[in-house]
Amino acid sequence: MRNSALILGIIGGLWGMLVGFFGYGYTVVMQTYGSQLSGVAEQVHNVGLVQTASLVAPILAIAGGAMARSRNLIAGVLLLASAVGMYVAFGFGVFTMFPIAMCGLGGILALAARQPDAH
């Protein structure tokens, strides 16, 4: 279970980084060129939340995945916090369903791993 949480956390964090790059980039483009793009696109409602989650959520997922083998309870909390952060900031859609699901499942597996994995 710990190895599964490790893999799911790291892959979920990498996908989350991709979503974060586009989420943060979109807010910056709208801040810079929003007046020229009126009618075509609009700024998100909570820019600070999207920008913060774009940075923090993937880092939590990668850190949680990295420590899943040694500190499974902390890793599980970090992975679940990452999944919740991505869901709150970006919602559940075609680009966010895999990182949210991977981080959520990795967090559940890390929390469920009470005994060390069999080698």
117 pLDDT more than 60: no
Is residue 25 within 8 Å of residue 36, measured between CB atoms?
A: no
Cα 53 to Cα 62: distance, rounded to the nearest angstrom: 14
SS3 57: helix
Tell me the chain's radius of gyration from C-alpha atoms. 16
Cα 102 to Cα 69: distance, rounded to the nearest angstrom: 17
Query: Would you state the structure tokens that stand for residue 118, as one six-digit string?
Result: 């069999």
Q: Give 77 or 118, the one with higher predicted confidence.
A: 77
Domain ranges (residues) in the chain:
2-112
CA 48 vs CA 41, 65, 105: distances in Å? 18, 26, 27
Query: What's the rounded mean pLDDT across residues 99-107?
Result: 97
pLDDT at 19: 97
Entry pTM: 0.91
Q: Give 35 or 99, the one with higher predicted confidence.
A: 99
Cα 95 to Cα 40: distance, rounded to the nearest angstrom: 21
48 pLDDT more than 90: yes
At 62, the pLDDT band (50, 70, 90 cuts) reads: very high
At 116, the pLDDT band (50, 70, 90 cuts) reads: low
